[in-house]
Amino acid sequence: MKPCPPPAPHPRKPKFAMPANACDTHAHIFGPAARYPWSPNRGYTPPDALPADYERLHAALGVTRGVITQPSVYGIDNSATLDYVANNLARLRAVVSVGAEVTDKDLAGMHEAGARGIRVNLADRGGNPFASFAELHRMADRIKPLGWHIELLIHVHEMDAYINDIKRLPVEASVGHLGYMPATLGADHAKFRGFLDLVASGRFWVKLTGAYRVTGMKQTPYSDVTPFAHALIARRPDRMLWGTDWPHPICPVPMPNDGDLLDQLAEWAEDATTRNQILVDNAARLYGF
């Protein structure tokens, strides 16, 4: 099982002033493994990344709110995520992973514990608990009364096979990691331009996260990602979200410092008004803070 390095141990403060109620919309909690055992079908084995570590990260960055996203290493067992979030509802929300067999009672209980969406991984179909889009659409109908959304992990340059199914979803959707398209393909790529049009429709949110997952560079700043972020923000600043992707479980380049990653947002959104919209207002709308 592929091991993962830990995050940088000393995150530094960002170079710009963080607004009150800034939200980290994408992070994971891992462990302790003795209490929350890994799924045998996981694709990697992370080191422990505990709530206390996450809170130290936020204290260093000046972040107040957070969204814990269910990681694939736990499958559809959301215990580690919800145990933490349920005890911190004033400042935390969750995105969970469920299968078609989940009951409406279970969904209601997750909502009370802070869940506001489900995660569906189409980039790695082994992480998708739904056998078909018909099944996913039935689940979307069930979560719609809760006001939930679907968080999609997709490679936007490879989504032709299911783009029409995504467009027909009866709930809003968020897309992680700037669309998960390799920066080497360029922001003028026809598939990315199509993704921009999709975002412009107003039913999709984009997480400005995981730049190190798509960059062709080894060190921050990942300047090859900047044109993608600029294009997305210019198209729909009211649908952009920011997150750390802490503790960076899929990091194919040398582990960056979280302060350096946050400083990239100041390069992508140079004026404070737009940054505050991304950091505070948009997240509050989607996750119900």
State the CB neighbour count (10 A cutoff) for residue 5.
Answer: 13
Is the omega angle on the peptide bond into residue 145 within 30 degrees of 0, that is, cis?
Answer: no
Q: How far apart are CA 137 and CA 135, in angstroms?
A: 5
Tokens linked to 243: 């997150």
Tokens linked to 236: 């729909």
Cross-strand pairs, 93: 67
What is the crossing angle of helices 190-200 and 226-235, to 10°?
Answer: 30
* 245 a catalytic residue: yes
Tokens linked to 287: 């996750």
Instruction: State the catalytic residue, choosing from 245, 263, 271, 281.
Output: 245
Which positions ≥6 away from 193 have C-beta within 8 Å? none
Burial class (CB in 10 A: 0-12, 13-18, 19+), 254: exposed
Q: Indicate the length of the chain as a whole number.
A: 289
Q: How far apart are CA 145 and CA 142, in angstroms?
A: 7
Q: Which residues are part of the catalytic machinery?
A: 245
